[in-house]
Amino acid sequence: MNRHDVDKDLELLKKYDATRVSEEDKPLFEKLLKDA
């Protein structure tokens, strides 16, 4: 995955309404944000 794709994914994650993430998925999203 190139840098541009990572940035694009990050933008999508930031726009994603965290309140809509299920409790089960939250750790995954937090990990993605932390690792980015």
The per-residue pLDDT for 23 is: 75
Tokens of 1: 């995955």
Q: For 1-36, what is each residue's pLDDT tens digit?
A: 567 777 888 777 777 766 567 777 878 878 888 886
pLDDT at position 17 = 61
**Structure confidence at residue 32 (pLDDT):** 81
Closest CA to 33 of 1, 25, 2: 25
Q: List the structure tokens of 9.
A: 């994914």
Residue 34: the pLDDT is: 86
Q: What is the pLDDT of residue 2?
A: 67
| Cα–Cα distance, 21 to 2 (Å, whole number) | 26
pLDDT for 18: 61
- Predicted TM-score (pTM) of the model is 0.34
